[in-house]
Structure 1
Amino acid sequence: MILISSDKSSTLEAIDNENKCWIHTVDFSLVKSIDENNLIGFKKNERTKNLSNKFFSGNEIFFVTRMDNKYICYGYTIIDETTKTDVNLYGFYENRFKLKIKRIKYFLQPIVIDDIRNKLNSIKSTGRISDVLKVGYYREITQEDYKLIKKQSSTTGMFPVYFEVYTKNMREFILNTCKSIYNILKVEKNYSQIEITKFLSLLKVSLKGYGINKDADELKRFYSRYAHELGFKHVTTRDPEKFVVLLSHSGEKNNFGYISLE
């Protein structure tokens, strides 16, 4: 018979705690606030003492929300530390127990839960998915399910462009405005290239003239996602302050700093 010391048992328990994985269903209205604050919490009716024994630094959390009448997984993060505060977070998380999280990694394409549900042992159920993934609650999943979800899509550190409201016509209009600005710059021949960020500032001003108000970060996300459709030649830079991550059609990520005008 093999005996395991209490110290050994404690070590194994600590490892198990660190390796826990969760799905958290987020109210859609809170997605942006969580991105900006890196802080999440729990419903008021959860007991703080029980939560302290379940959630630990290093645990990984997938975020799910309801969009276009579908439950989608849009990213994941790691718990940085647990904390307690009486602040009613976002007017939603009323429990004192809160989770400070690391920067969220977002899926380039949202993962529709119904498409993979039958493969996920942790949430396989004959009941309604709304009962399985209740808004505001957490559900522990296995390491196998965790790995399966991560395989479904590449990730980015940028807030997803699919959360922005772009109709097909709006997307085409912004892309066409990019092309118009590009052609004007080429005709002027004052530059051989332009910084992508400066180009986007011109785009912002141009769109505002048509009554379309988009902030710099939103246009940067838009350009990163759709630049490959423009056919512009982009130039790399060694200056990290000028880096803009552009996605290829296949989702491959590369850093660029300039748009060539030659």
Structure 2
Amino acid sequence: MDKVSKSEGKFYIFKFDEKYLNDINNGKTLFSHKKRGVFQKIEANDNILLLSKYDNKLSFLAYTQVSEVFEDNAEENFNPRKLKLKGIKYFTRPIILKDIADKLDFVSNPDKPSGSIQEYKEISIKDFKCIYSQSPHINNLPYYLNRINFNLKEFILDSMKSLYGFLKQYNGGRNQIEIKTFIKLLKNLLSNYNINLPYSELKDFYARNVWQLNFKHNPSRDPNKFVYLYDSNGDKHNFSYISFIS
């Protein structure tokens, strides 16, 4: 997708029911239940923020850009006009609308911001950039949206904490462990619960979420051991080891 700063398109918000998230993610297509309105104005290269409920809070979950507009009459209750997407960039954490409502010009009542958006709404580039800059983004559906029969994110975090506690107690006299080795051990641990995530996904999960566990990390001069870890502000820092010394 083009960077926001280089786009010549317009800027919109799409507010949708969370039950459609998987369809949007898999099909890379947006729709409308209405035959008229703002949706009819959207064209190729326009930018759209995806807004839906997460934990019962209306939150921005992703950013996308329109590749092309086409027609599909297969679904009777939907507008035949459809938007094919270039891709979807998910925010690494949900951006709660109410938390930033007082910064947005299109919100008339910050105490009840949901009333400012029906289904699709055109917004200014200023508001768009304000929302877009609140969180880093990734190409894949983030862990906080991967809810099957339990909260996968919390389960992995609990597993990381348990594994760290075990290794700290039974570390053979070592005062640290390489981050990459820890992630391999975590992968094996999770496989016992039939959670078979690729190493690359677990590494990304660790990098983006370990700040919540307050592990102490140490750097290294060996570039083969480098792992970029994100802090609570989304900034990256280079580390190689997890310390067992508080």
Q: Same fold (TM over 0.5)?
A: yes
Q: Which residue of structure 2 aligns with residue 224 of structure 1?
A: 207
1:46 aligns with 2:35: yes
> Structure 1 counterpart of 2:53, which letter?
R
Structure 2 contact 101–113 (Cα < 8 Å) conserved: no
> Structure 1 counterpart of 2:95, which letter?
I
Root-mean-square deviation (CA, aligned residues, Å) is: 4.3
Mapping of residues 1-262 of structure 1, within 5 Å: 18-43=8-33, 45-47=34-36, 51=39, 54-88=41-75, 94-125=78-109, 129-134=113-118, 137-151=119-133, 153-157=134-138, 158-164=140-146, 165=151, 170=155, 172-179=157-164, 196=180, 200=183, 202-209=185-192, 211=193, 213=195, 215-216=197-198, 219-228=202-211, 229-233=214-218, 246-253=229-236
Partner of 2:87, secondary structure, is coil
Q: 1:201 to 1:167 in 2, by over 3 A?
A: closer
1:182 offset after TM fit, Å? 6.0
1:120 offset after TM fit, Å? 2.3
1:25 offset after TM fit, Å? 0.9
1:140 offset after TM fit, Å? 0.8
Structure 2 contact 29–84 (Cα < 8 Å) conserved: yes
1:176 offset after TM fit, Å? 2.4
Q: Which residue of structure 1 aligns with residue 4 of structure 2?
A: none
> Structure 2 counterpart of 1:142, which letter?
S
- Aligned residues with identical type, % of pairs: 26
Structure 2 contact 208–229 (Cα < 8 Å) conserved: yes
TM-score of the two chains, using structure 2 as the length reference: 0.68
Deviations 1:212-238 (CA, angstroms, capped at 9, x unpaired)? 636337645532322344335577998
How many equivalent residue pairs?
228
Partner of 1:104, secondary structure, is strand
1:175 offset after TM fit, Å? 1.5
> Structure 2 counterpart of 1:176, which letter?
K
1:18 offset after TM fit, Å? 4.2
Give ranges in structure 2 of 5+ residues lacking alignment. 1-6
1:76 offset after TM fit, Å? 1.4
Q: 1:172 to 1:201 in 2, by over 3 A?
A: closer
Structure 1 contact 42–93 (Cα < 8 Å) conserved: no
**Bigger radius of gyration among the two:** 1
